[in-house]
Amino acid sequence: MSVSPRLLQRQRSSCVYSSIHGFNQDEIKEKLQAFHGGSIDLLKQDSGIAVLTINNPSRMNAFSGSMMIDLEERVSQLENWPEGKGLIVQGAAETFCSGSDLNAVRAISNQQDGMKMCMFMQNALTRLLRLPLISVALVEGRALGGGAELTTACDFRLMEAGSVIQFVHKHMGLVPGWGGAARLVHLVGSQNALKLLGGAVKVDPELGVNIGLVDGVLEGHQKTEGAAPLLQQAENWLSRYTKGPAPVIQAVKKVVLSGRELPLSEALRTEKDIFGTVWGAPANLEALASKSKHK
Ligand SMILES: CCCC(=O)SCCNC(=O)CCNC(=O)[C@H](O)C(C)(C)COP(=O)(O)OP(=O)(O)OC[C@H]1O[C@@H](n2cnc3c(N)ncnc32)[C@H](O)[C@@H]1OP(=O)(O)O
């Protein structure tokens, strides 16, 4: 698939690492490709809500090398989706993700490869978080290690009753490397982040809600009679934020993102630019026309 120069430029500006940091994406992709298995599947729906599925059930949806490459490609597709409004990230076969595939980790356990994989995944997950879509991680079963980090690359987290998010890195002699620690501190504050990482705490839905990591708890559809399928519950939850025209929803995400990531003056200037894309645009004119009392 050929990528347009504008899209390439947008991708680069969303990345943390580029050639000036000694990062060569093609080189690490070649290495990761050797560790195959599983896939990352993308379904773009007419509703403007896409579903991204981490699919490697025989390994509890652990990330193989080829799945890391898949993820980056799916993010590229989502960056180039003008009709998009929302995104749900889920795991296949009733569990979320057990982190990186330990077989692949063993094979690239040298310092150099580890750093390259780390930069590749930080770039991919930063681009995921910076998509102009409102995103939700739907946690069913377990989100462990890199799987827990992946949940923090979404705007919101929903947990099924009985599910667990656990930063198990300490047990592996590691710390998060996919950007999960930095994002966790933003989400729950440094005190709570230190507790979760230092204690490799099992976060259940109740604890998750209490510390502000989790935004909603869904009924387990297999345990609760009459409960809707989890994905349906997640789509219903998300739809309150994605109702309306795509350019407006994307603008909402962009102003919040710039407020979150940029120094105030820069965020204000960015907000002005984004405001300029919706002011006088069709949705704005239609809304004005419907207010007949104020003509
Ligand atoms: C910067 C990123 C850092 C990281 O992500 S490091 C990786 C962190 N993740 C982990 O340490 C999780 C390791 N897995 C486990 O603790 C357990 O498998 C887990 C997820 C609690 C499930 O336990 P059980 O329900 O008892 O099932 P099980 O152990 O028999 O697992 C079923 C099959 O899945 C495999 N699996 C699970 N997690 C994996 C992983 N991360 N990499 C590779 N394979 C993995 C496991 O080996 C087993 O396979 P098999 O049936 O024995 O062939």
**272 CA from centroid of ligand 1 (Å):** 47
pLDDT tier at 274 (50, 70, 90 boundaries)?
very high
69 lines ligand 1 (CB under 6 A): no
Q: Are 221 and 227 in contact (CB under 8 A)?
A: yes
- Atom of ligand 1 at shortest range from CA of 102: 42
pLDDT(157) > 60 = yes
Q: Which two tokens stand for residue 61?
A: 């949806």
Instruction: Give per-residue pLDDT as tens, 235-270.
Output: 999 999 999 999 999 999 999 999 999 999 999 999
100 lines ligand 1 (CB under 6 A): yes
pLDDT tier at 224 (50, 70, 90 boundaries)?
confident
pLDDT(7) > 70 = no
The per-residue pLDDT for 3 is 60
pLDDT(211) > 70 = yes
Question: In Å, how far are 57, 58, 150, 232, 269 from 127, measured between CA atoms?
Answer: 25, 28, 12, 26, 21
Q: Which two tokens stand for residue 29?
A: 């992709």
The per-residue pLDDT for 6 is 66
Concatenated DSSP letters for 195-240?
Answer: HHHHTT-EE-HHHHHHHTS--EEE--TTTSTTPPPHHHHHHHHHHH
**177 CA from centroid of ligand 1 (Å):** 18
Region label for 61, one of left (φ > 0), alpha (ψ between -120 and 50) or beta (otherwise): left
Mean pLDDT over each residue of the chain, to the nearest integer: 95
Q: Give per-residue burial for 33-51: e unless 16+ CB within 10 Å, then b.
A: eebebbbbebebeeebbbb
The per-residue pLDDT for 227 is 86
Residue type, 280: G
146 lines ligand 1 (CB under 6 A): yes
How far apart CA 269 and CA 265 sit, in angstroms, is 6
- Atom of ligand 1 at shortest range from CA of 177: 1
pLDDT tier at 101 (50, 70, 90 boundaries)?
very high
The per-residue pLDDT for 226 is 85
Length of the chain (residues)? 295
The per-residue pLDDT for 11 is 67
103 lines ligand 1 (CB under 6 A): yes
Burial class (CB in 10 A: 0-12, 13-18, 19+), 198: exposed
Q: Are 154 and 42 in contact (CB under 8 A)?
A: no
For atom 35 of ligand 1, the residue with the nearest CA is: 59
The per-residue pLDDT for 293 is 78
The model scores a pTM over 0.90: yes
The per-residue pLDDT for 8 is 64
The per-residue pLDDT for 292 is 75
132 lines ligand 1 (CB under 6 A): no
The per-residue pLDDT for 2 is 57
Q: Provide CB contacts within 8 A for 171, sequence distance 6+.
A: 200
